[in-house]
Amino acid sequence: MDLGITGRAAIVTGASTGIGFAVAKELVSNGVAVVIAARDRRRLEQAKEILLRAPGAKVASVDVDVAAPDAARTLVNKALMTFGSIDILINNAGRAHAGGLMNSSEDDWTDMTAVKLTSMRRLCREAIPHMQQKRWGRIVNMSSIGGIYPNPKLFVSHVLSAAINNLTRSLALEVAKDGILVNAIGIGAVATDNWANNMLPAVRKNRLEMSSLGDDEVLARISAELTPVGRAGTPEEIAAIAAFLSSARNGFVTGDTIEASGGADRFM
């Protein structure tokens, strides 16, 4: 399928590994010039090197903490100075946080809100005026099915996911008249480093029968239990959805949170 976005320019946050990297790779393969962003400079440069191997690839990188007050302007300016426009925004930065209300600290709330929600709001606000000038734009916000089917053991993450879904819907209604479509992807169990580092330790703590198992085995067992398709998703599967939502082929889907969870109606 020709997505009709060759020559467009995108920003992808959290793009050094996992879903963000997969989305950047999918966009590059469709002729999109991409600014990738992440905090870890070494991993970001490794990702950039891989992406540039594609024929005709145009990739720039910015090592930045998206929670910083000036990060959004820095990223948008990078896209404008390097590629001349910003047409597609993929808000992917963030991580999962295990814990309920009573054992989540004020710092947990502050840090998670800054990375997952505040950075998203700032980037949208910074990018949208440039999209409005061209009367074309696509924004995809990475959320979680926990924003629809919350698990109290992931209280902070799922409250913020619900806020992302609401931000997406509200923003979509505000900018639809400008030719800008805004959607979210409600992600379920997907095999990434984020899962390995942040979620699987919590599974082992709560499920003692899995405490001695390796990451792959724990993820396989949890996925088989909770996901009707019987497995975890892949970053590439999420990237394919994001690419379509970001494309010219999508002209009528906006304000939605697309569930990409293998049919699961609960998270962990």
Give me the amino acid identity at 179.
G
Share of the chain above pLDDT 70, in %: 89
Taking phi over 0 as left and psi of -120 to 50 as alpha, with beta for the rest, 61 belongs to beta
Q: Per-residue pLDDT tens for 24-58? A: 999 999 999 999 999 999 999 999 999 999 999 99
- CATH for 76: 3.40.50.720
Indicate whether 137 and 239 sit together in one domain: yes
Indicate whether 148 and 64 sit together in one domain: yes
DSSP-derived secondary structure letter, 28: H
* 56-86 per-residue burial string, b: 16 or more CB within 10 A, e: under 16: ebbbbbbebebbeeebbeebbebbeeebebb
Q: In which domain, by residue range, is 215 found?
A: 190-230
Domain count, the chain: 2
* 5-33 per-residue burial string, b: 16 or more CB within 10 A, e: under 16: beebbbbbbbbbbbbbbbbbbbbbbbbbb
Q: Per-residue pLDDT tens for 234-252? A: 999 999 999 999 999 999 9
Indicate whether 104 and 124 sit together in one domain: yes
Q: What is the pTM of this model?
A: 0.92
Indicate whether 184 and 196 sit together in one domain: no
User: Please, what is the average pLDDT of the chain?
Assistant: 91
Indicate whether 25 and 61 sit together in one domain: yes
